[in-house]
Every structure is written in structure tokens, then in C-alpha cells.
């Protein structure tokens, strides 16, 4: 039996959960901005704050980032995963 891997938007991860960035679904400008912040496929992220509205705060590559919900919706992640957390 094959394992089905489903990705979900970063905005759906709860506080304290870890995930791995798998894909960016955005235009070139937004993708470039997210990449400059360290949010590239394979990067491990940990959700620090997600109140269900307003900005999210995540740890990624040793930095704490605040992201808008629209940006977070364009970052597809896999819960847990094998990404590298510094």
C-alpha cells in the first residue's frame, strides 16, 4: 500500500508544531521574498504563534519571522517531516 503524502498551508499548523516546507504556491516576487527569508523547500519551521487570525510567528533557520496569513497560505508544508532544525 502506498503512503499518501498531503501538504497543507503553513497557516493551518498549530503553535509548537514542526513542519517542513515542501512547496511554494506564489508568484515570482512572493517566492523570491519567501526564499530571502529562508522559507525554501526542505526548510524546517516551528510555529510559535497562530491565533487563527492576524500574523503568524514561526522559527525558521534560527530566525523568528512574522508572516501575514496570505503569505502563510502560499507555503505548503508537511507536518513533522525530516527537515533540519538548527
- Assigned domain for 48 exists: yes
- Quote the pLDDT of residue 13: 94
Q: How many domains is the chain built from?
A: 1
Residue that is written with C-alpha cell 509548537 in the block: 16
- Assigned domain for 40 exists: yes
Residue-wise pLDDT tens for the chain (86 aa)? 566 678 999 999 999 999 999 999 988 999 999 999 999 999 999 999 999 889 999 999 999 999 999 999 999 999 986 555 44
pTM of the model: 0.84
Alpha-carbon span 64 to 15, nearest angstrom: 13
The answer to whether the CB of 17 falls within 8 A of the CB of 50 is no
Alpha-carbon span 79 to 7, nearest angstrom: 8
Q: Which domain holds residue 28?
A: 8-79
- Assigned domain for 1 exists: no
71: left (phi over 0), alpha (psi -120 to 50) or beta: alpha
Q: What is the CATH number of the domain that holds 39?
A: 2.30.30.90
- Assigned domain for 12 exists: yes
- Assigned domain for 2 exists: no
- Assigned domain for 75 exists: yes
Amino acid at each position: 500500500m502506498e503512503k499518501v503524502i498531503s501538504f497543507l498551508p503553513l497557516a493551518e499548523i498549530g503553535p509548537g508544531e514542526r513542519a517542513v516546507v515542501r512547496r511554494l504556491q506564489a508568484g515570482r516576487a512572493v517566492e523570491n521574498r519567501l526564499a530571502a527569508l529562508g522559507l525554501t523547500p526542505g526548510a524546517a519551521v516551528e510555529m510559535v504563534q497562530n491565533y487563527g487570525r492576524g500574523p503568524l510567528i514561526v522559527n525558521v533557520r534560527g530566525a523568528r519571522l512574522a508572516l501575514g496569513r496570505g503569505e502563510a497560505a502560499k507555503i505548503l508544508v508537511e507536518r513533522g517531516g525530516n527537515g533540519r532544525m538548527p
